[in-house]
Amino acid sequence: MHTLLDNEARKQQLIKTLLSQGIYKKGEKQLYMLSLNELENIYARSNKTIQRKGNGVVIVEQATFAAGCFWGVEALFQQLNGVISTSAGFTGGETINPTYEDVYSELTGHAESVQVEYDPSLISYEELVEVFFENHNPTSLNKRGEDVGTRYRSAIFYHSNEQAEIALFAKEKLERSGRFKKPVVTQIIPITSFYRADEYHQSYLAKRGQSSCKIS
């Protein structure tokens, strides 16, 4: 029941935001017919181009990473100047609207992931990728500490060809550096659907007064 209430509250919040900002003009009735994930995707697309702050316009880009338990990964990116918002969720698999329990079963193909919205005038995609590689072991296949399974794999889900080129270059540079004796196993693949996890998982560590947890 707690999950249903959280989802309904989030849905109400999104509908109110979409209507008040004039993003979705077909009316409240049509919005209520959409799923929470569909509303999240509409909101994400609307925020990808611009976000108004005061009298200025901030360009907003998206980046999506998987590096183990998404609680720790989200906390890592939340600390960076230039990051506007983060969402813990699931991507990389085929199951539609998976629950945490679905992903935990290892049957969905999804990875625990974090979608980052950032201001490229304050932090670049190259810097985000650098933070990603610096804060976990990208040579460990499907294992982050005591967390084991494909849902904990290392992956960069790119949103554009430019992001793909940057991520591939960073991976190749890391492999040439000699920092690791084993090959870098990080997947670099296009983003498909991103499914936001229940509100319980959002900013999990921050809600508990913790700034980080080990994700390597």
State the catalytic residue, choosing from 69, 131, 155, 215. 69
Concatenating the DSSP letter of every residue in 11-35 gives HHHHHHHHHHTTS--S-HHHHHTS-
Closest among 83, 104, 70, 56 to 196, alpha carbons compared: 70
Is 213 assigned a catalytic role? Answer: no
Q: Do residues 40 and 7 lie in contact, with contact meaning Cβ atoms separated by under 8 Å?
A: no
Phi/psi of residue 67, nearest 5 degrees = -150, 35
Q: Which letter does DSSP use for residue 178 in this model?
A: T
Q: E strand or H helix at 177, and its extent? A: helix 161-177
Q: Rounded to whole angstroms, how far apart are CA atoms 59 and 49?
A: 6
Interatomic CA distance for residues 94 and 44, integer angstroms: 20
Write out the catalytic residue numbers. Answer: 69
